[in-house]
Amino acid sequence: MRLAVLRALDGHEHSTADDVVRTVRDDLGSVSVQAVYDCLHALTGAGLLRRMEPAGHPARYERRVGDNHHHVVCRGCGAVADVDCVVGEAPCLMPGDTHGFTLDLAEVTFWGLCPACATGPAPAR
């Protein structure tokens, strides 16, 4: 099952759990939604997947792990793309006061309109 979940994310980065369920069912046949969620959770915990959850959108999963990249999300259609860290080592951003925390990651989500939405009708708000 875990291999099927990993295969489901090959070439389908930023997939929702529902996307993964559909792909795994196409691959293996009948599987429970809970089994796929359990695999996603275990693979994320093991560092084999990365989970990101843009505000107002479902969580998405990707196989790109081990680097400090960020994401851009389209306000129109919800498309997500990777944005490489533009400056320095992880974390890319350092707050003025860490409050004593040892920082190892900065998550930044850029928001805007993808090319298709930017040239189409304005998104409903």
| Domains of the chain from N-terminus onward | 2-62 (1.10.10.10), 70-119 (3.30.1490)
How far does Cα 36 stand from its chain's mean position?
Answer: 16
Separation in Å, CA 78 to CA 74, 115, 120: 5, 12, 14
Closest CA to 105 of 67, 71, 73, 72: 67
pTM comes to: 0.81
Please report, as a single letter, which amino acid is at residue 52: M
Tokens of 74: 């389209």
pLDDT tens, residue by residue, 18-76: 999 999 999 999 999 999 999 999 999 999 999 999 988 999 999 999 887 889 999 99
In contact, 28 and 59? CB cutoff 8 Å: no
Cis-peptide into 58, omega within 30 deg: no
Tokens of 2: 């875990």
pLDDT tens, residue by residue, 98-116: 899 988 777 888 999 999 9
Residue 123 has pLDDT above 60, yes or no: no
- pLDDT score at 106: 77
How many Å apart are CA 24 and CA 20, to the nearest integer?
Answer: 6
